[in-house]
Amino acid sequence: MKETGSAFKKLHCILKPWYVIALILFLWWLAARMKVWNAYLLPAPSKVVTTFFSMLRKGEIAQAVLISLRRVLSGFSISFTLAFLCALVSTYKPGAAEYFRYLGNFFRNVPPIAMISLLILWFGLGETPKLIIIILASFFPMTMNIATGFAQCDSRLLEVGKSLNFSKLRLFFRITLPASRMNILTGIRIGMGYSWRALIGAEMFAAAAGLGYMIVFAQQMSRSDKVIIGILLIGMIGAVTDAALRFLIEWAGGTAQTGQAVQAEIPEADEGQAPASAAAFVSDSDKDFGKGKNQILPGESIAHNAEKHTGQAEYARPGAHKRWIDTTSTTDELHPSEIRLEHVTKEFASDKGELRILDDASISIPTDRITVVLGKSGCGKTTLLRMISGLDQDYTGTICIPDGKRCAVVFQESRLMPWLRVRDNITFGLKKDEIREEKVAALLRLTGLTSFARTKPAQLSGGMRQRTAIARALAVEPDFLLMDEPFAALDYFTRESMQRSLLAIQKKTGCGILFITHSIDEALILADQILIMGNGRIYKRYQLTAGSSSGKAAGRDLSELKEDILMNI
């Protein structure tokens, strides 16, 4: 019984739009049968059907439809091209668009059909007036929709492209254009509707063929049945066109798929050598990792530290025993493989004047280990990461990245392209000739996403989306990963899993990591060195080095380290 009821509901939903149509046809037949109106004014449905097939056999309908369709497509193609170009100008060159603001507003408010008489005087009864009418009718709604799509492109997605060193042209074709597809298709749908309406009006005034002319000629010959056929043809063609465009819009919007998010586990890192899958995408420069030193440049950024600690203690993080040393003050020379910030100052304008986020900061960051930056909200941690990545270049001082070292960014949000599947998101930063299937397969295995290569981001759990973002960053074979609180929005269990995953990935690839976090516990789990940031300075550093210790002593020392960080943060 339930299956029968479900089938009836589905059939009812399918037939819903036809109920009103069937009612109108019945009332039409009934009115003609009862002769409510003269047959001259309202012919019976059977008369209209007979006339339709007669015109169809003679080729009158096909000729009229093809002529009108050709005009619509010609005028609409020109209109769309102009609208697309104008939308580009208004988005990327707003100063140039200002010259045409008043002229555009004038023509946008003038009904195109009002210009038909003038156009006939200028261009005669040829095709030109009809094309101009179609262009004027469809140009403005398409331009506004396309320009809105370009302007509303998510700036966070654009930053992903910039972090991957996309050119402006590549940013447009890989991000802005796909992200604007819904607005573009909506503009096309609206513009096509306006094009048909404008054309029929133009054909009624200045044409010797087409659907509009067929209706006017039928009216002059007192053939109301042919008038009705012309109206029905226009409506049906418009409905079919609109349905096709609506399908495209729904298909394009289908990238944001619904459904239950899935979760997948990533294998833990094995002790010993990395598997062959990791070697498939680790760059040659990774072989030189491990030669640098953890340093802080001497300077004002550390000169105000109240005291120097010379003692050291041991603590262990999961899977390894580590020794931590407070090395706030050091005068060792910098290793050339480190990323260096030399006297960097960064200011923001605020209501209270200039806010100095970084004040003459100098620091070195190894490119073969995990460096974690801790600090309170607003202390400049994300700003520091953005400056190193090149996303923020408004600062004074020098940031030196060793030659040949390539950086990649993993943001706090996954920032996946919603219209791409997992595999395509991973290869997003690569050119076509750089994509190798074995490399993609290795990344999918490394991040535990092999079974979800063809899944859209909306169907992934938060942890899986972040794994995809990490795989996207690793795909460009970076020497250094910049990670801005990538696990902050995850629940405790997913966050813990992702921390283990990151340690496994770093071990297998050997790339360095700069990791931003608010969590001291997360820093203790991940870090090889911890930097404390605040008041515009990087004022304390804890270096963690390999050592040995019993679990009991390690636990005690871990608590001591956490307490020391809490006292100094």
pLDDT in tens, 336-351: 578 888 888 888 877 7
- Arithmetic mean of pLDDT, 510-525: 89
Q: What is the mean pLDDT of residues 529-552?
A: 69
Average pLDDT over all residues of the chain: 78
Which token pair is 525? 């789990």
End-to-end CA distance of the chain: 67
pLDDT tens string 260-308? 445 554 444 444 333 333 333 333 333 332 333 333 333 233 222 323 3
- Extract long-range pairs of 438-442: CB within 8 Å, 24+ residues apart: 438/280, 439/280, 439/281, 439/475, 440/475, 441/277, 441/280, 442/277, 442/278, 442/280, 442/281
* 472 pLDDT more than 90: yes
CA torsion 513-514-517-519 (nearest 10°) is 60
**What is the CATH superfamily name and number for domain 294-568?**
P-loop containing nucleotide triphosphate hydrolases (3.40.50.300)
Instruction: Give the strands of the sheet with 396-400, arranged side by side.
Output: 353-365, 339-350, 396-400
* Residue type, position 174, single letter: R
pLDDT at 145 over 70: yes
Record the tokens describing residue 121, joined without a space. Answer: 């005087």
Per-residue model confidence (pLDDT) at position 335: 53
Task: Check if the beta carbon of residue 192 is closer than 8 Å to that of residue 18.
Answer: no
More confident position, 490 or 486:
486
Which residue intervals of 254-380 are DSSP H helices?
276-279, 300-303
- Matching residue, tokens 């535990």: 448
Q: What is the mean pLDDT of residues 538-561?
A: 60
Residue 465, amino acid: R
The pLDDT assigned to 440 comes to 92
Please give the Cα distance from 318 to 503 (Å, whole number). Answer: 10
Is the pLDDT assigned to residue 538 strictly greater than 50?
yes
CB 460 within 8 A of CB 428: no
Q: Torsions phi, psi of 368, nearest 5?
A: -130, 10
99 phi and psi angles, rounded to 5 deg:
-65, -25
- Return the amino acid letter for 339: I
CA dist., res. 249 & res. 242, Å (int):
10
Determine whether domain 44-253 maps to CATH 3.30.1180.20.
no
The number of C-alpha atoms within 13 Å of 401 and in the hemisphere containing its C-beta is 16
* C-alpha dihedral sign at 527, 533, 538, 542: negative
Q: Would the pLDDT of 436 be above 50?
A: yes
Distance CA 79, CA 81 (A): 6
**Mean pLDDT: which of 213-217, 283-287, 331-335 is highest?**
213-217
Q: Would you state the pLDDT for residue 188?
A: 92
Which of 332-336, 353-357, 498-502 bottoms out in mean pLDDT, i.e. has the lowest?
A: 332-336
SS3 category, 539: strand
Cβ–Cβ under 8 Å, residues 365 and 533: no
Pairing status of strand 529-534 against strand 370-374: parallel
> Is the pLDDT reported for residue 323 higher than 90?
no
Instruction: Inform me whether the pLDDT recorded for 31 exceeds 90.
Output: no
The band of 486, judged by pLDDT with boundaries at 50, 70 and 90, is: confident
Measured distance CA(468)–CA(516) in Å, rounded: 19
Rounded mean pLDDT, 402-411: 85
Residue 525: closest CA among 317, 269, 271, 316: 317
DSSP symbol at 159: H
Q: Please give the order of strands across the beta sheet that includes 512-516.
A: 312-317, 320-326, 537-546, 529-534, 370-374, 512-516, 480-484, 407-410
CB–CB of 163/408 below 8 Å? yes
Q: Using CA atoms, how far apart are residues 498 and 412, in angstroms rounded to an integer?
A: 13
Is residue 134 within 8 Å of 72, Cβ to Cβ? yes
Alpha helices in 430-491 (DSSP H): 437-446, 462-475
Helix (H) or strand (E) holding 182: helix 181-205
- The answer to whether residues 468 and 449 touch, using CB atoms and an 8 Å cutoff, is yes
pLDDT over 90 (residue 150): yes
Q: Yes or no: say if 405 and 454 are a contact pair by the CB < 8 Å rule.
A: no
Three-state DSSP class for residue 177: helix
Unique residue bearing structure tokens 């060792």: 332
Could you identify the residue written with the tokens 């009812």? 12
| DSSP letter assigned to residue 172 | I
pLDDT confidence of 540, banded at 50, 70, 90? Answer: confident
Could you tell me the two tokens for 434? 């750089």
CB hemisphere CA count around 297 (13 angstroms): 22
Tally of CA atoms within 13 A in the half-sphere of 104 that contains its CB: 15
Which uninterrupted H or E stretch holds 409? strand 407-410
Contact 159, 411 (CB under 8 A): yes
What percent of the chain has a predicted confidence (pLDDT) above 90?
Answer: 21
Quick check: 465 pLDDT over 60? yes
What local confidence, expressed as pLDDT, does residue 317 receive? Answer: 40
Q: How far is CA 44 from CA 26, 58, 339, 560, in A?
A: 11, 22, 85, 94
pLDDT of residue 514: 93
**Dist CA 536 CA 492 (whole Å):** 31
Domain-by-domain residue ranges, the chain? 1-36, 44-253, 294-568
Q: How many whole angstroms from its chain centre is CA 72?
A: 33
- pLDDT of 352 reads 67
Say if residues 532 and 508 touch (Cβ distance below 8 Å). Answer: no
Q: How confident is the model over 212-222, as a mean pLDDT?
A: 86
Q: Are 300 and 360 in contact (CB under 8 A)?
A: yes
State the number of CA atoms in the 13 A half-sphere of 508 facing the CB: 26
d(CA 124, CA 7): 59
> Of 270 and 493, which is predicted with more confidence?
493
Answer whether residue 249 shows pLDDT above 70. Answer: yes
- The number of C-alpha atoms within 13 Å of 365 and in the hemisphere containing its C-beta is 33
**pLDDT at residue 69 greater than cutoff 60:** yes
In angstroms, the CA 20 to CA 222 distance is 29
The two structure tokens encoding residue 219 = 């009216």
Instruction: Please answer whether residues 368 and 285 qualify as being in contact, where contact means their C-beta atoms are separated by less than 8 angstroms.
Output: no
CA 110 to chain centroid, in Å, comes to 37
Alpha carbon distance 76, 137 (integer Å) = 9
